[in-house]
Amino acid sequence: FVYLDITMRKKADILKHFPNIYAKCLSIGIDMTKDYIPVTPASHYMCGGILVDEYGRSSIKNLYACGEVSSTGLHGANRLASNSLLEATVFAHRIYQDAVENFKNNVIPENIPEWDSQGVTQSNEDVLVTHNLRELQKVMGDYVGIVRSDFRLERAHRRLFLIYQETEEFYKKNKVSVKLCELRNVIQTAYLVIKSAMKRKESRGLHFTTDYPEHAKELIDTVF
């Protein structure tokens, strides 16, 4: 970690602008008006996602995406602090405007069949879903973090495939749960992140790789 020094600011300013951070630091014994704050990188925002247009429309008809889950192109290779709130607000409004007109003549299909859960059982090993999620989070944090390399990405890809195989085997034999569906979604997202990173042969913004530390002369598309 590194230290963040904000002790030069007046206490009144800190309490006015950073009341929540001040309270949190104080709860763990750090008075940010007097002490340095230890800071370490953490995954907290997805810069990229479902590719959408200026009205939040994806390539699938009637499917919109907004906020962190979407890729609007506003952030470029990095995201400035607080831009996500503005992005979500603007695109939520645009999606509403477009959807109101778009869904006027929308017809919901009838006789949609219920989920067929025949042939599966209620598992007593749901804890494995939690374990696989934690393992996946560690793999992504260790090998697909701020500093990347071809070696780390390949290792992450191999380990992710093992987690995928275990999860799919569990999914086919056991009753579906919310946590299991979420795990499958996380695995798919992790795969897309890794494959996109493996296609990048340069460093740009928050995408840094030790194998290709310089900018490419031309922009290379890593969306697929």
According to the model, what pLDDT value does residue 176 have?
87
Tokens coding 42? 């953490």
Radius of gyration of the chain (CA): 22
According to the model, what pLDDT value does residue 151 have?
97
Beta bridge partners of 174: 121
What is 127-209's CATH number? Answer: 1.20.58.100
Query: What is the pLDDT tens value at each position of the chain, 224 positions in all?
Result: 899 999 999 999 999 999 999 999 999 999 999 999 999 888 778 887 899 999 999 999 999 999 888 988 888 777 877 788 888 899 999 999 999 999 988 888 888 888 887 777 777 778 899 999 999 999 999 999 889 999 999 999 999 999 999 999 999 888 888 999 999 999 999 999 999 999 999 998 888 999 999 988 887 777 66
Whole-number Å distance between alpha carbons of 173 and 168: 9
Q: Which of 161, 168, 194 has its CA nearest to residue 183?
A: 168
According to the model, what pLDDT value does residue 180 have?
93
What's at 27, amino acid-wise? S
List the chain domain ranges: 2-39, 50-102, 127-209
Whole-number Å distance between alpha carbons of 196 and 51: 13
